[in-house]
Amino acid sequence: MINRAELLRFFATKITDEIVVATYSSASDWINIADRPLNYFSAGAMGLASSHALGLALARPERRVIVLDGDGSLLMNLGSLVTIAKMAPTNLTHFVFKNGSYEANGGHPIPNAGTDFAGIARSSGIAKSSTIHTLDDFKAKANYFLTEPGPVFCCLDIEQGPLGKREYAYMYRPEQRQALRDALAAGKP
């Protein structure tokens, strides 16, 4: 299993001008590691990170859009996978952090924690679907995930992160949304 914060610290070294869509626990870790204008946080929208990312990928085909999703969140909106497959945005990479729990809501277990999310994505029509079990494997394949024409889907087996109260007010502040709008309008990272 992979420590999510360690993975995200490495991942941050690979990010340049991509739009990163993150939700709940992934968002909480990501903003602490890489607070940047091209971050999009789906406030109070459990399950909708993949849908928000699809909209951004279709609207901004010149930029790679990366989703940092959770297994509990994706379970809330599995239908987004067939829509992503149908629309087939070449600039979309969807990461699912699989820890078997609704971590942001107290660590309650998700139903059937052994679900094969890459298998579901593949059977939904996303041919480039895989599962990563170790940080070394992720490091070896990170460039593929960031450059391969999408849609690309990757399930990452991670350890459960810290439980408890999370501070979402900072990431959902109006200035964060404005910084994203400004960065997109200017075409800058």
CATH number at residue 59: 3.40.50.970
Number of domains in the chain: 1
Which residue bears the tokens 């971050």? 39
pLDDT value of residue 111: 77
- Give the pLDDT mean for 99-113: 67
pTM above 0.85, yes or no: yes
Indicate whether 104 pLDDT > 90. no
Per cent of the chain over pLDDT 70 is 85
Rounded Cα distance between 181 and 157, Å, is: 33
What is the residue range of 74's domain? 4-186
pLDDT tens digits along 66-88: 999 989 889 889 999 999 999 99
